[in-house]
Structure 1
Amino acid sequence: MHYKFEFRPYQRKFVRAVVTSHGMWEIREGIILCLTDESGKVGWGEIAPITWFGSETLEQALNFCRQLLPEIREETIFSIPDDLPACQFGFESALQGVRESRSEDFELLISPPPASVTYSGLLPAGETALEAWQRLWQQGYSTFKWKIAVYPTSVELKILESLVQSLPASTKLRLDANGGLNFEEANLWLTTCDKLNANSELPVEIEFIEQPLAVDQFSAMLELSRRYQSAIALDESTATLKQLEYYYNQGWRGIFVIKPGIVGSPSRLCQFCQHHKIDAVFSSVFETIVGRKAALQLATELSQYNRAVGFGINHYFAEDDAVWLENLW
């Protein structure tokens, strides 16, 4: 079957910059795709690369889209190479959208997510987190992710002490280092987390530390996961499906953070997760409503441990997603 193919690049400025150990991120750039079949059914997809996580660059994705004909076949979509994982996700999502389509407008995109999905709200780095959690709590969040490895460890550990004392009972806190700690710092963080989690008077659980060390230090992270009670999640290490498969085969049985927007082929991801029953946390790449809809469908289908999904990022954008999309298209 042939599909009419259209695409449009976009830029969205964050309300406030996203600050991680990788640096400051101020503008989200990506590509919205639209496929239309011969009967007029429409499917939407999104390519939202994060180069420093291991996906293709935006320019590589644009070059791929530009070289395609105005009409493409399914064979083209399923032959997208693995070095274009964000493209794989975007095109397969659009194709799935055509198959499920009942409307030519944005109706299906703006329908509410499954009620079974709970969200983790993203806190800013540093002391700002001490106040930022309150607004998110009022919006219904009870799991929070805080960016660490941005400021000196001694400074952040003092903030952590204040944060866990101020958070409401029964909340969960995730610490995301983005690979920015060294081995000594990671030991210090995990020792602190073990102590906090062992404190029965503290009603807050440190759920896990996300990617404490750089991708090339997997053996050290494996050692840390065996040394401490507190859980470790791989994130940058498992950015793509190829990496996910590799580190599973290397013996990782801890938590895997999966960013559907850059992991690669959704159909192959489903096969892997369903076969291995991994402990996965699904997370955003600051995509728009288009990519988020497809990603949440995967999260609902593949989550085995009912962990909150890392899609609590809407407060980082000023404009409403649906309005923004209609204006773009």
Structure 2
Amino acid sequence: MSRVASARLVPYRLRLRAAHGDARGGFALREGVLLHLTDTVGRVGLGDCAPLPPFTPPLDVCCRALAAEAERLPGTDPIAGFYELMAAPDTSLPAPARAAVEMALGWLAAQELGIPLGRLLAPDSQVRPVRLAVNALVDAADVAEALAQAGRFAAEGYTVFKVKVGLGADRDAAVLRELRDRLGPRALVRVDANGAWSPAEFATIAPLLRAADIDLIEQPLAPGVPSAEWARLRAETGLRIAADESLANGARGLELIRATACDAVVLKPSLLGLAASAWLARAAREAGLEVIVSGAFESGAGLAAALEFAAVFGSAGTAHGFATALAVLDDPVAGVPLPAAGGVELPAAGALPALAPAANAREALA
């Protein structure tokens, strides 16, 4: 039985091909830190700590917590350590730091057992999909560029489109009206408001969303809005809604799920952690909700874990939010499949992330 032999942190900075925009603002860079574990037989497990304030604590807080945790990891049995973390989602560690530990131990444990990480996450999973559907991401603030984004994705074979809204009433209306005309009736269009609307604003914009035949509205209301208000607006508007940022508070997320105040959950394992995401996914499935899994402009280590999570917890046939990976440049992690033509292929043995040669070289010079 192997043990963790060493633990080190590898900071990274990712550039985006174009600035990401949403109702909370925008960014063109993502910073994080990889947890690099080596076991006593030489296997490597990578975890990704990729905070995204205000959804999570800031990077410096997460890094300090992760550094302290990394010092305690040598000597740990990866299998026992992973299962212990998965059994207790509540922790004093910030969620992105905990996610990094869960991922790194999980990859080591999966290698030792000779199974994909997904099977480790959900031992009762029966069939591993060979491909996951992926939605296009339309996040440009400019109307013309947003429409051009959608056009490029459509030309590449994408049929499900997620459009960032809450970027101005005129912009949102122009994009949604024109997008439906350009994509035609067969395209599935979802929107993500990132909590931009008050209950009154959501009710006001609902006719436009119905006219544009929007399939799903992600996080229309702020995370603090009570579940009863979500349920009321869901019933009054007749629109399908999904919870995302509200899930960062596990108790509040569970309340939304159990109250059937939403139709779907959007889980970001890099931001919530694997254990917390699994807990919410199981509750959502029991309530009959759609489970969508999404990336968060993280490194390939976080993306690989999210892909494995989606393979076992994602709803069959749904399109997941992994187009974020297409926006990332300078990724220090290699060996992870990327979306293409509206989907992403899953290796049968699991997608094992590894430090890219350039990243290893930079570490050697550090």
Q: Shared topology, TM-score over 0.5?
A: yes
* 1:269-322 per-position Cα deviation (integer Å, ceiling 9, x unaligned): 335433551321111111111111111111110123521000112332234652
Aligned match of 2:117: none
Aligned AA (1:38):
T
What secondary structure is seen at the aligned counterpart in 1 of 2:317? Answer: coil
Q: Which residue of 1 aligns with 2:12?
A: 10
Say whether residues 1:232 and 2:241 are aligned partners.
Answer: yes
More deviation, 74-83/63-72: 74-83
CA offsets 1:15-72 (integer angstroms, 9 cap, x no match): 221111111212101111121221222211111111211x222111211232242725
Q: CA deviation at 1:251?
A: 4.3
Aligned twin of 2:165: 148
Task: Name the CA distance, whole Å, in 2 between partners of 1:72 and 1:96.
Answer: 15
Greater Cα shift, 42-51 or 268-277: 268-277
User: Which aligned pairs between 1:244-323 and structure 2 lie closer than 5 A?
Assistant: 244-264=253-273, 266-274=274-282, 276-277=284-285, 278-319=289-330, 322=334
Aligned partners of 2:193 and 2:247: how far apart in 1? 15
1:5–1:72 contact (8 Å) kept in structure 2: no
Q: Which amino acid aligns with 2:281?
A: C
CA distance in 1, matches of 2:52, 2:330: 22
Equivalent-residue separation in structure 1 for 2:272 and 2:212 (angstroms): 33
Q: CA deviation at 1:161?
A: 0.8
Instruction: Name the TM-score, length of structure 1 as normaliser.
Output: 0.84
Q: How does 1:186-205 map to 2 (within 5 A)?
A: 186-197=202-213
CA shift, 1:114, in A, is 5.2
* Equivalent position of 2:102 in the other structure: 92
Q: Which moved more, 1:317-326 or 1:116-125?
A: 317-326
3-state DSSP of counterpart to 1:46: strand
Which letter maps to 1:182?
S
Cross-structure match for 1:172: 188
Match of 2:119 in 1: none
Q: Distance in 2 between matches of 1:126 and 1:114?
A: 37
CA separation in 2, counterparts of 1:220 and 1:267? 28
Deviation at 1:73, TM superposition (A): 2.2
1:120 corresponds to which of 132, 135, 141: 135
Aligned AA for 2:109?
R
Q: Give the conservation status (yes or no) of the 8 Å contact 1:126–1:150.
A: no
Cα distance, 1:11 vs. partner?
0.9
Aligned-partner SS, 2:224 = helix
CA–CA separation in structure 2 for the residues paired with 1:184 and 1:244:
22
| Mapped partners of 2:284, 2:320: distance in 1 | 20
Q: Kindly provide the CA deviation profile for residues 63-104 of structure 1, in whole angstroms up to 9, marking residues without a partner as x.
A: 1232242725257773882551112221111111112338xx
Long gaps (5+) in structure 2: 113-127, 336-354, 361-366
Q: SS in structure 2 opposite 1:256?
A: strand
- Whole-Å separation in 2 of the counterparts to 1:251 and 1:12: 37
Query: C-alpha distance in 1, partners of 2:275/2:219?
Result: 26
Contact 2:65 2:93 in 1 (8 A): no
C-alpha contact (below 8 Å) 1:119/1:309 kept by paired residues: yes
Aligned length: 308
The answer on whether the counterparts of 2:303 and 2:325 sit within 8 Å (CA) in structure 1 is no
SS in 1 for 2:132: coil
Q: Which letter does structure 1 place at the counterpart of 2:323?
A: G
Supply the distance in 1 between the matched residues of 2:9 and 2:75 (Cα, whole angstroms): 13
Contact 2:234–2:261 (CA<8 Å) still a contact in 1? no
Is the Cα contact below 8 Å between 2:243 and 2:262 reproduced in 1? no
Note the alpha carbon deviations across 1:201-257, whole angstroms, 9 max, x for none. xxxxx2111111211223332211111222111111113544432432444342111
1:232 aligned partner, one-letter code? I
Is the contact made by 1:85 and 1:240 (CA closer than 8 Å) also made in structure 2? no
Counterpart position of 1:62 = 63
Q: Is the 8 A contact 2:134 2:160 kept in 1?
A: yes
**CA RMSD of the aligned region, Å?**
2.6
Paired residue secondary structure (2:215): strand
The DSSP-based 3-state class of the residue aligned with 1:257 is strand
Looking at structure 1, the residues matched to 262 and 176 of structure 2 have their Cα atoms a distance apart, in angstroms, of 27
Alpha-carbon distance between aligned partners in 1 of 2:205 and 2:321, rounded to the nearest angstrom? 21
User: Which letter does structure 2 place at the counterpart of 1:302?
Assistant: F
Give the match for residue 35 of structure 1. 37
Contact conserved, 2:176 with 2:212, CA < 8 A, in 1?
Answer: no
How far apart in 1 are the matches of 2:75 and 2:235? Answer: 49
| Ranges in structure 1 where 5+ consecutive residues have no aligned partner | 103-112, 198-205
- For residues 88-144 of structure 1, give each alpha carbon's deviation from its aligned partner in whole angstroms, at most 9, with x where no partner exists: 221111111112338xxxxxxxxxx95330101111234021111121122221111
Q: 1:260 deviation in Å?
A: 1.1
Q: 1:240 to 1:310 in 2, by over 3 A?
A: farther
